[in-house]
Amino acid sequence: MSETLRESRERAGLSQAQLALRSGVAQPNIAAYESGRRNPSAAMVDRLRSAMSPLPHEALERHRDELKELAAEYGLSNVRVFGSAGQGTDTTQSDLDILVTRAPHVGLLTIAEFSVVAEQLLGVAVDVVTDGGLPADHPILRSAVAA
């Protein structure tokens, strides 16, 4: 178990200190789990694994071009980000809020399918909003930044 935890943390690209910050578990405890000096409970393992998930903005950075290509395949363009990922305040519990412009032939089911496929690509929850029905002064439009 200890080797697996360390390997998982390293695959996630996190130091023990970063994992401690994300999980709320003291870094010395993480070190003890990784060295085998302490055995984490199943709940603790779940907590640490959850904290190793990418933050939405990190997932976007890794897959930005792929996400834009995917959006184009679904008839969506002008991909922007808003919410916590756009502001840099996202956590492992945050989703990625995406604002898009849809082609006239694109309906709700297509947008829903895009959302599911985008989640699979990014590994984080995705919420998709289209800009067509938002008034020009809507806060989402004002805060959205290019993806």
- Structure confidence by residue, pLDDT tens digits, 71-114: 999 999 999 999 999 998 998 889 999 999 999 999 999 999 99
Q: Which of the four pLDDT bands, split at 50, 70 and 90, describes residue 133?
A: confident
The yes-or-no verdict on residue 48 having pLDDT over 60 is yes
The yes-or-no verdict on residue 1 having pLDDT over 70 is: no
Measured distance CA(92)–CA(24) in Å, rounded = 12
Return the exposure string of 48-79: e unless at least 16 CB atoms fall within 10 Å of the residue's CB, then b: beebbbbbbbbbbeebeeebbebbeebbbeeb
pTM beyond 0.75: the answer is yes
Cα separation, 106 vs 110, in Å, equals 6
Residues in the chain, total: 147
> What is the spatial distance between Cα 67 and Cα 79, in angstroms, rounded to a whole number?
9
